[in-house]
């Protein structure tokens, strides 16, 4: 039950993009086409899940027992950077088609604050190993959801008559604001 | 080959310097950080048990703590309970004080919450919410009053909900009642 | 000589408006949106970014000649993460309330594209003096963006500025401004208006 709450909360109520403001750069940058939004979302979900699997043991089995919590930020960011490189190499060797779909997005993920943010928030919330993994999957899917909805709207927006000075980032931000408003309706889904 | 060794050397060097620097800084800031954490909890205990002079933890889990509140002679006057539960939006952290016979709740304090500003966030507000929580009977748990009442009209185990934020109010009541169940098991 | 001074000046000034990281380059969007619900948070965040950006720029421009190209980014990240951790611990030790309000957004300065971007584009190629000026300009530009955002959001959303009452009781607080949607709406409006003014200015 607790796992379900964590899942729904990270997916909808406290959506990483629309409520925590994590991963805004790719949200604004890669949301102009539906197909690339899906690929980016998949890549982030994938890396986030692996990050969950790897960072929890690092924090709770290495840093905490040896009182090295102050190395949290340094070790997390290095692990994530190494992880992304490794995943990229692995995908390139194993699946050509998957690499074509995700390849160019992977290097961008290292500096995507959603990943590091997720690892830090999981520690802050004191989740167990299983909870952290569920949280990672849900946060990644929540990011994908926001990105895909946004891309869908922006593809339609191309045909709309937007005032000249609002074209580009301006209207994207305003649309994101309205999207965030509607996501607020999910609050209270869990009782 | 030579350049590769140099590469590893530089990276190791940077990492060692950085962790050394951080270790020094961590040792320097650690006492202050711990003091802040302790101060926050101590201050809350003082507020929720009237007349408490010192406290000692009985249960000390990350999401649930019970503190024994003692007066100046070291005699027990009540318990302070720290608990975290699900609110409307995110987790709500509260601290409340009860008497040593587990019959009366002295008062409630909300330590951390992320409810909707202007509505659910009023659970931290004294006039709108917290003042109704003074000296409630908890033998059968706390209940929300069916409609808003004056303080003196409330039954001894009732509290008012915040108008427009019934769900947040209900969440707090549930958090407290759940915690009381646990307290009754722990404190015999 | 005059041209050299001029270029030093432009190293500093370009970050403030022409290449403003927040309003023109759209870098560092996450903290811009997340911590601008109150002016005091924006100030603390800006201070942390100024510290990290300047300190990292000094160190990296000093050691840039010893760092092999292959491990450049990794070394930069370690240096940045070191200063970020220091800023984070400092806030937690001496300003616990601010540290709580900013939550994970101080640690997240590590992945703020402004910082790594400036290291890669400027500090790793220029001497200490110019790197400091560039870092100061960029971080002040970031601070300007944050202050602008938080001023609008706090006044409209809470009727206060830095905690002081600005609008009286007659003002019906626009709660939405301090909620997440308000961040997007404010930034969208600011970007739209500044673009409108720029095009109008050019035509006139």
Q: What is the pLDDT of residue A14?
A: 87
Contacts of A178 in chain C (CB under 8 A): 181
Chain C contact present for B33, CB below 8 A: yes
B113 has a pLDDT exceeding 80: yes
Of B22, B32, B112, the CB nearest to C93: B32
pLDDT (average), residues B152-165: 86
For residue range C119-149, list pLDDT tens digits in order.
888 898 888 999 999 999 999 999 999 999 9
A130 has a pLDDT exceeding 50: yes
Contact yes or no for C82 and B18 at CB 8 A: yes
Q: How far is B116 from chain C (nearest CA, A)?
A: 8
B115 has a pLDDT exceeding 50: yes
A191 has a pLDDT exceeding 60: no
C5 has a pLDDT exceeding 80: no
Q: How far is C170 from chain B (nearest CA, A)?
A: 16
Contact yes or no for A25 and C74 at CB 8 A: no
A120 has a pLDDT exceeding 60: yes
C2 has a pLDDT exceeding 50: no
Contacts of B171 in chain A (CB under 8 A): 191
For residue range B75-92, list pLDDT tens digits in order.
899 999 999 988 887 789
SS3 B94: strand
Contact yes or no for C75 and B36 at CB 8 A: no
Q: Would you give the end-to-end CA distance of chain B in angstroms? A: 70
Q: What is the pLDDT of residue C31?
A: 86
**Alpha carbons B137 and B119: distance in angstroms, whole number:** 27
Q: Which residue of A has its CA nearest to B22?
A: A70
Q: Which of C156, C182, C192 to mutate to test the interface with A (most CBs of A within 10 A)?
A: C192
B97 has a pLDDT exceeding 70: yes
Q: How far is B56 from chain C (nearest CA, A)?
A: 23
Residue ranges covered by each domain of chain A: 43-164
What is the count of residue pairs from A and C with beta carbons less than 8 Å apart?
122
Q: What is the pLDDT of residue A1?
A: 58
Angle at A118 between CA A116 and CA A123, to 5 degrees: 100
Chain A contact present for B116, CB below 8 A: yes
Q: Which of C111, C157, C176, C179 to mutate to test the interface with A (most CBs of A within 10 A)?
A: C111
Are the C-beta atoms of A23 and A139 separated by less than 8 Å? Answer: no
Q: What is the pLDDT of residue B186?
A: 86
A169-172, long-range: CB < 8 A, 24+ apart:
A169/A28, A169/C26, A169/C188, A169/C191, A170/C188, A170/C189, A170/C191, A170/C192, A170/C195, A171/C188, A171/C192, A172/A28, A172/A31, A172/C188
Q: What is the pLDDT of residue A162?
A: 86
Q: How far is A23 from chain C (nearest CA, A)?
A: 7
Which one is predicted more confidently, C48 or C201? Answer: C48
Least confident of A143-157, B86-100, C8-22: C8-22
Contact yes or no for A188 and B90 at CB 8 A: no
Give residue C1's pLDDT band: very low, low, confident or very high (50, 70, 90). Answer: very low
Mean pLDDT of chain B: 88
Percent of chain A with pLDDT over 90: 38
Distances (CA, A) of A107 to A82, A83, A87, B35, C77: 11, 11, 10, 41, 15
């Amino acid at each position: 039950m607790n796992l379900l709450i964590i899942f729904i909360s990270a997916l909808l109520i406290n959506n990483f993009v629309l409520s925590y403001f994590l991963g805004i750069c790719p949200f604004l940058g890669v949301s102009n086409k539906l197909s690339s939004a899906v690929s980016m979302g998949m890549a982030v979900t994938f890396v986030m899940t692996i990050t969950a699997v790897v960072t929890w043991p690092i924090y709770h089995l290495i840093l905490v027992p040896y009182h090295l919590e102050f190395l949290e930020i340094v070790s997390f960011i290095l692990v994530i950077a190494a992880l992304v490189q490794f995943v990229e190499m692995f995908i390139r060797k194993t699946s050509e088609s998957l690499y074509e779909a995700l390849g160019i997005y992977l290097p961008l993920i290292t500096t995507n604050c959603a990943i590091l943010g997720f690892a830090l928030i999981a520690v802050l919330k004191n989740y167990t190993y299983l909870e952290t993994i569920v949280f990672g999957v849900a946060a990644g899917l929540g990011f994908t959801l926001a990105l895909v909805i946004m891309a869908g709207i922006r593809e339609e927006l191309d045909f709309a008559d937007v005032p000249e000075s609002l074209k580009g980032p301006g209207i994207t931000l305003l649309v994101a604001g309205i999207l965030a408003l509607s996501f607020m309706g999910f609050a209270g889904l869990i009782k | 080959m030579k350049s590769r060794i140099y590469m590893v050397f530089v990276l190791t060097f940077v990492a060692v310097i950085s962790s050394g620097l951080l270790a020094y800084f961590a040792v320097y800031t650690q006492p202050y950080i711990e003091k802040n954490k302790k101060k926050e909890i101590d201050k809350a205990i003082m507020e929720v048990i009237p007349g408490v002079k010192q406290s000692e933890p009985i249960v000390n889990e990350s999401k649930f703590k019970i503190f024994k509140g003692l007066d100046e002679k070291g005699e027990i006057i009540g318990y302070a309970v720290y608990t975290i539960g699900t609110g409307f939006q995110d987790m709500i952290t509260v601290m409340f004080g009860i008497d040593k016979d587990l019959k009366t709740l002295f008062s409630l304090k909300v330590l951390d919450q992320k409810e909707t500003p202007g509505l659910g966030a009023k659970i931290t507000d004294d006039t709108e919410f917290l003042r109704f929580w003074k000296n409630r009977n908890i033998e059968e748990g706390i209940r929300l009053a069916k409609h808003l009442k004056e303080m003196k009209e409330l039954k001894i185990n009732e509290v008012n909900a915040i108008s427009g934020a019934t769900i947040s109010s209900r969440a707090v009541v549930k958090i407290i009642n759940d915690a009381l169940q646990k307290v009754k098991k722990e404190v015999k | 000589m005059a041209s050299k001074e001029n270029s030093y000046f432009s190293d500093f000034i370009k970050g403030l408006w022409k290449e403003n990281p927040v309003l023109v380059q759209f870098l560092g969007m996450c903290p811009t949106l997340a911590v601008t619900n109150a002016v005091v948070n924006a100030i603390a965040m800006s201070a942390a970014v100024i510290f990290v950006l300047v300190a990292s720029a000094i160190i990296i421009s000093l050691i840039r000649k010893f760092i092999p190209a292959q491990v450049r980014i990794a070394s930069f990240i370690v240096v940045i993460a070191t200063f970020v951790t220091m800023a984070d611990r400092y806030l937690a030790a001496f300003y616990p309330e601010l540290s709580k309000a900013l939550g994970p957004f101080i640690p997240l300065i590590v992945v703020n594209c402004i910082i790594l971007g400036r290291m890669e584009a400027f500090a790793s190629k220029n001497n200490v003096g110019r790197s400091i000026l560039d870092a100061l300009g960029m971080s002040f530009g970031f601070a300007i963006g944050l202050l602008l955002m938080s001023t609008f959001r706090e006044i409209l959303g809470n009727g206060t500025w830095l905690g002081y009452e600005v609008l009286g009781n007659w003002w019906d607080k626009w709660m939405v401004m301090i909620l997440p949607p308000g961040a997007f709406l404010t930034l969208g409006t600011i970007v739209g208006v500044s673009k409108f003014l720029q095009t109008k200015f050019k035509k006139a």
